[in-house]
Amino acid sequence: MHRSKPGARYLNDTLGLMQDQRTAETMLGTARLQPYLNAAAGDYERAVELYLWSAEISGALHTQLSFVEIAVRNALDPVLADWNTAQGVSYGRAWTAQDQAAPLLYDIIKEPLNRARRWARKEAQNRPTNHPRKGVIPTHDDVLVQLTFGVWASLVYVRGDNTKRVQLWEEVTHRAFPHAPDSAESQQRVGQQLSNIQALRNRVAHHDNLLDVALGNRLNWTLSLLSKINPDYPSLAMARSQLRRLIREDPRRTW
């Protein structure tokens, strides 16, 4: 065993339960385990050590990304509500309600918005019989939480010529990031950060391996985006974060 390595704390009792390679391959799957074996030059014990470390990294990243998703949602929603009411008497602050999103906004997120409404209705129907909100008509907040991070990213991120997103940025979405310039270049930077973070979020959510990810850079992406909303947000998001410690404890550093 490689007992001298600091990363060996990941092995302890868990490794004792996984000494048989067939057990790990059955539990994790041969294809899932293979990248770790490759990174460990075929050393099974090191591969398991690396897998356990990677699982911790994914958990810490999931927490970090939750701060970003919630902050972006809570930054965009109120400015969209203000903008929506200014588009005419037909529209209100509850821009997720049926026929309440002004045309420019609706054109951009029509499909995911309609899908979020369906999900919100389904959730209301599926609540337990004794639930106080069983079967209620979904509120704006009910629909809001059904919108994925990808939807929020799509409101800003411009790929190629997309005049509607540019117009929406100029009119409203830049206000969600008050500590970033409201220029076209800033929209590109913020949109790219949102898109990159969405891609990372999807990898974490699908339990993909993160062995080739520059984790320090990804962490900086999240903090940079949060600071564009509020300079105090990064400190809150990092208050209990273990990411920096875990990044330093990458077992490969000691091999």
Q: Which domain holds residue 11?
A: 6-254
Mean pLDDT computed over every residue of the chain: 92
pLDDT beyond 50 at 17? no
**Does residue 57 lie in a domain region?**
yes
> In degrees, to the nearest 5, what angle opens at C-alpha 242 toward C-alphas 236 and 246?
145
- Write the CB contacts of 229 (distance below 8 Å, at least 6 apart in sequence): 71, 72, 75, 176, 177, 178, 179
Asked if residue 1 belongs to a domain, the reply is no
pLDDT at 174: 98
Mean pLDDT of 136-160: 95
Q: Is residue 231 part of a domain?
A: yes
Task: Judge whether residue 4 has pLDDT over 50.
Answer: no
Contact 46, 255 (CB under 8 A): yes
- CA dist., res. 132 & res. 56, Å (int): 37
Write down the pTM of the prediction. Answer: 0.89
pLDDT score, position 11: 54
245 occurs within a structural domain: yes
CB 5 within 8 A of CB 255: yes
Please state which of the ranges 4-13, 16-25, 88-97, 190-199 shows the lowest mean pLDDT.
4-13
- If one counts the domains in the chain, the total is 1
Q: Which of 7, 24, 63 is nearest to 238 (CA)?
A: 63
For the chain, give the percent of residues with pLDDT over 70. Answer: 92
Cα dihedral 56/229/75/235 (nearest 10) = 40
